[in-house]
Amino acid sequence: METNREQEIKRKAALFCAVGVCLLGFALFAPDPGQHPGLGFIQVARHTSWHRALDWEAAWCSLKIILLCLGLCLIIESLGTWLMKIGHVLMGVYIYLLHVVPVVGLIAGSYYLVKSLL
């Protein structure tokens, strides 16, 4: 029989997963800027220059990178929590180590955002 605390942890993990999927979906399916046909939003953000201040298209793509990485962080967090709660502690720790990838993406997205706005 599960205690109220365990049910609350599982409920929060499910909420994190749902929010993460929504952020991931928004980042992937939100419209890209129309000036760069054929380029993905990551390439648009990467190709901005320090010499062009207020590059709104690159700023929008940088925000999409940040939202994508936040969604991945939430999904990884919920999956790790679920694995820990069902008894797969070692697998949960390995899943938690995957946080490194979206954190690097968050740093890169933040850099591209600053680069596109300054």
Question: pLDDT digits over 28-43, tens only?
Answer: 999 887 676 767 888 8
Average pLDDT over residues 54-76: 95
Q: What percent of the chain has pLDDT over 90?
A: 67
The whole-model pTM stands at 0.89
Q: Report pLDDT for 39.
A: 76
- CB neighbourhood size of 29 (10 A): 8
CA nearest neighbour of 60 among 29, 32, 21: 32
Percentage with pLDDT > 70 across the chain: 97
What gap in Å lies between CA 93 and CA 95, rounded to an integer? 5
Say whether pLDDT at 2 is over 80: no
Give the dihedral sign, CA 36/37/38/42. Answer: positive
Burial 50-68 (b: 16+ CB within 10 A, else e): eeeeebebbbbbbbbbbbb
**Domain spans of the chain?**
4-31+41-117
User: What was the pLDDT predicted at 1?
Assistant: 67
